[in-house]
Structure 1
Amino acid sequence: MASVALAWVTYRLVERPIRLGKNSRLKVASLCTLAMSAGGVGYLSYALDGLPSRFPPEVQSIADFKYDYKGDARVNKCWLGEVSTPDGFSEECANVPPGNSSILVWGDSHAARLYPGLQKALGDTHAISQFTRDSCPPILGFGYPVCQKSNEYVMAEIRRLRPRTVVMFGVWGHYQKDWSIPSPAKQGLLASIEQLKAAGIKEIVVLGPAPEWSDNLPKLVYQGWKDSYPVHKIPARLTTGHDPVPVAIDKQLETLFSDTSVRYVSIMQVLCTKDGCLTHVPNRPEELFTWDYGHLTTYGATFVARHLSEVGVLP
């Protein structure tokens, strides 16, 4: 009834006077002015990306999250693409001076994004080498042809450089969904570890999978903030939106290396609890752990690296 009454009042007091009243030229000019003003406001809103200033600063940074993932990861030098030559790594990728504080990172693009965190957290006390390539896990005899030849080259470099610690990391679920069963990937990983041992590597660290999200994490975090009605709050953890497969793989790899000399570290256990997986560095909501589905930002990689140092894996 209220809507009917309001419609009748609008018709009598607004629509009829405008349509049937006097001073039609003035009314036309006024309406044109109002329409142009509304259009101007609309265009201004479009030009300013929807007036993001109406959001809190931390939400603005998430809603418009842009991340330079190449700058500190040594792209085209120590992080190569699939078509780069097997031995195309720059000389600066090998950083192993005499001593016991050398770390070598070996793996795919996820390992490449771990490097900046290791460098930031441990670079003052450790010499860190990096040999990483897109879609190329640290598994000898596995993957596309360039990957296989590249890993042969990396193993030769490891024998030459003799770092104290080799960190093996990759998005393991992209190469095998179930690591509890025999497969070329599993066999190759174990064989690669045996070759590292034969090369005299004192510490072999395998990092388990990181959380993988169903969409770009900034989008999921913004949606979580938007859905936390009536008190909007950036979620420190999300219980939904991440793939359960890496959780299962983490447990399988942990079991695989439980009775070996390999140091297995579960990133899932570092970042996730029953309350969900961390989305950002604690108390720093603008420092998200990833900009896409799972590659670590330098914030996230530094968080992981500091954990590895604190628990004595990379002392």
Structure 2
Amino acid sequence: MSATGYRPDIDCLRGFAVISVIAFHYDISPFRSGYVGVDIFFVISGFLITRIIHAEVQTGTFSFAAFYRRRARRILPAALAMLCVTLLAASVILLPGDAVSVAQQALAVLVFCSNVLLWSQQGYFDAAAITKPLLHTWSLGVEEQYYLLFPMLALAAFALRRPLMLASFAGLCATSFLLCVIQTRLQPAAAFFLLPARVWELALGALLAMEAPPAPHSEWLRITVAALGWIALGAAVNLFSPHTPYPGTAALLPCLGAAAVIWANPSPSKAVLTAVKPMIAVGLWSYSLYLWHWPVVSLATAVWGPPSSIQHKLALLGACTAMALTSFYLIEQPARQAQSPVTVRALVASASVVLLASLAIIGLAGFPARFSPQERTLAEFISYDHQSAYESGTCFLDPGQTFEALQPSCLAKGPRPRILVWGDSHAAHLIPGLKRALPQASLLRASLAQCVPHAEAGQSAACADFNRRLPLLVRELTPDIVVLSGNWTRTAMTPAAQASLLATIKAITDNGSKVVVVGPSPQFDRPLPHLLIAAKRFGVSTDGHMLDGLGEVDGFMRVLLKDSARTDYVSLLALLCPAGDCVLQTSDGAPLAWDGGHLTAQGSELAGPRIVAASPALAAAASAPQLTANSAN
């Protein structure tokens, strides 16, 4: 076992990890998968904690009380300060429901289970990550749970002979990794947030601390291994996309890269140490930087929206750095000193402030009196119940459901004109409006979340099966019109997607049905009720908040389908955002959408008649005399 002396390379790793995470969250190139920085932190923690415990056990100085006291002084003072400031800011800036959510997350942090709470809140329509200022505390929950459990397991392992001890650590690592791979496929949220699927990353560091692979003896080998480790880390922060299943096997790259750097432990020259001094400094500040970076960008987004320009990103980075350095020099560093006056009473008092503030926010429902009646009405749409309007679970299926879950009532043949709506949630949100605009039509509904209405790369097995069976359903139901609607993105512009969409349309029209393709819905960089309230409270402009690329996709699809036989293309952007000026509220004051892009029932009823009027096929159906079911067949 190596000595527990200072390792500048580990601070370099910490600096790299926190820079990666911050750059990813602040959308600063080139760290497009910078979230892997958290995995690097886990490997480092596993290494350092195991090394410390083993060294103290060998010298007979290990004490549970001393271990937990050091961990508390290391973690809690700065974390409690961040919680206090975040709760205060949330109670001033955020909507009542969001403020209550922050308070609940703060309580979870106090009992070391914020990762469990955040895991339980995951879902298809869950609030966007950026609206949760304490989302980043999930990783603290994982580490804190590890700190609580690992010392007892480590002491039991250290009592074994070395081969059995190493085998126990290796077995723990392998078992957790296998669980991680399986859960990433079957329960991705659990794999990401919960300790069991993350233990292997910590155990990997523990194996390094126990010198399971003997330390390399030659300096050239150390340098080579360290260089390969840094290359792996550089690849890891750029290689993965939002669609990469994670952690799973993908997490091997950053974890093994970090492990290689730690294992190599080269002896750096003075020139190298001087060159990496800035990175070492960032590593020393990494905990405070990590604590403050996410609340800063989350709360700023609640007011101004996601940072879009380099000036905005640099301003947020400056604010984050200022808060972190203040926290580091005034709270974190003094608390870690042996002579620090930080005591159990001081920590309990600080935690009590967080506890009482959180309970007050929850008990008083987020202080709704801060808002005007109109703002409170808009805020209610944040927790909008879309399930009834979208017919969730029956005609609009959740990601875990399959074609068989479609209820017969959704596909019942009624009088003509008979219209089938096929797509994903962006088809389901049209139903209230189409029902109102086509009262005499039989409106059939078949939609599946996260499943555009044609074959596309990366679709789930349930989606692929759904899209294979819908053309057969069209043949069986013989609808007069099939409405195709989906969350169209730039993916629709790829040659494969073009061919797939055109083939789907041809299969429908060959059956004798007409097709109406409804283009992209207006989508915004944050939930529309948030934007409307920020405009009223803080004077934020509502212009410039529509997502980039929608107009390009809309124009592309219009050109692609203009010569398709028996097919109408309806530009929802042209109907709802003429000249780029979007209709944001209906005549009764309801927001057009309840999140970033899914229509409210009122928004759908605004859009429905416009869609019908813009499609010759639907307009003809709206004015056609209704036929009985018998004569229609």
Q: Same fold (TM over 0.5)?
A: yes
Contact 2:395–2:406 (CA<8 Å) still a contact in 1? yes
Corresponding residue to 1:160 among 476, 489, 512: 476
Contact 2:415 2:442 in 1 (8 A): no
Q: Does 1:240 align with 2:552?
A: no
Q: Using a 3 Å threshold, how does the CA distance of structure 1 residues 146 and 47 change in structure 2: closer, same or farther?
A: closer
Q: 8 Å contact 2:422–2:447 — kept in the other structure? A: yes
Letter in 2 for 1:228: G
Q: 1:108 aligns with which of 410, 413, 424?
A: 424
Asked if 1:186 corresponds to 2:502, the answer is: no
What is the SS of the residue equivalent to 2:378? helix
- Correspondence for 1:69: 386
Equivalent-residue separation in structure 2 for 1:80 and 1:275 (angstroms): 32
The residue that corresponds to 2:581 in the other structure is: 276
Q: 1:307 is matched with which residue: 580, 591, 610?
A: 610
Q: Find the aligned partners of 2:406 and 2:421 in 1 and give their Cα distance.
A: 13
What CA deviation, in whole Å up to 9, does each residue of 1:181-231 have, x standing for no partner? 52x221110000010011110x210000011111111111111112339xx
Distance 2:610 2:462 in 1: 33
Q: Which has the higher strand share?
A: 1
Residue 275 of structure 1: how far off its partner (Å) = 5.6
SS of the residue 1:263 aligns to? strand
Confirm or deny that 1:258 pairs with 2:562.
Answer: yes
Distance 2:376 2:476 in 1: 49
User: 2:510 matched to 1:198?
Assistant: yes
Equivalence for 1:293 = 596
Given that 2:426 and 2:485 are in contact with CA atoms closer than 8 Å, whether structure 1 keeps it comes out as yes
Change (3 A) 1:141 1:254: closer
Give the aligned partner of residue 120 of structure 1: 436
Deviations 1:37-72 (A, max 9, x none): xxxxxx988744455345432211113433110012
User: Aligned partners of 2:577, 2:370: CA distance in 1, in Å?
Assistant: 32
Distance 2:615 2:399 in 1: 34
SS at structure 2 position matched to 1:118: helix
Contact 2:418–2:442 (Cα < 8 Å) also in 1: yes
CA contact (8 A) 1:87 1:150 kept: no
Residue in 1 that maps onto 2:397: 80
Query: Following the alignment from structure 1 to structure 2, what is the Cα–Cα distance between the partners of residues 246 and 275?
Result: 11
Match 1:57 to one of 373, 389, 413: 373
The one-letter code sitting in structure 1 at the alignment partner of 2:394 is: K
1:92 offset after TM fit, Å? 0.7
Contact 1:96 1:128 in 2 (8 A): no
Q: Using the alignment, how far apart are the partners of 2:380 and 2:456 within structure 1?
A: 42
Equivalent residues of 1:95, 1:128 under 8 A apart: no
- CA contact 1:103–1:166 (8 Å) conserved in 2: yes
Contact 2:492 2:498 in 1 (8 A): no
Ranges in structure 1 where 5+ consecutive residues have no aligned partner: 1-42, 230-234
Which residue number in structure 2 is paired with residue 222 of structure 1?
533
The secondary structure found in structure 1 opposite 2:564 is coil
Report the count of equivalent residues. Answer: 259
Distance 1:271 1:218, change over 3 A: same
- How much has 1:146 moved relative to structure 2? 1.5
Larger RCO (CA within 8 A; separation ≥ 6): 1
Corresponding residue for residue 486 of structure 2: 170
Please name the residue that 1:94 is paired with.
411
1:78–1:89 Cα contact (<8 Å) kept: yes
SS of structure 1 residue aligned to 2:551: helix
Match of 1:207 in 2: 518
Provide the TM-score with structure 1 as the length reference.
0.75
- Work out the CA distance in 2 between the residues paired with 1:268 and 1:75: 25
TM-score by length of 2: 0.39
Of residues 464, 467, 475 in structure 2, which corresponds to 1:151?
A: 467
CA distance in structure 2 between the partners assigned to 1:247 and 1:160 by the alignment: 36
TM-superposed CA distance for 1:141, in Å, is 6.5
Instruction: Provide the alpha-carbon RMSD of the alignment.
Output: 2.4
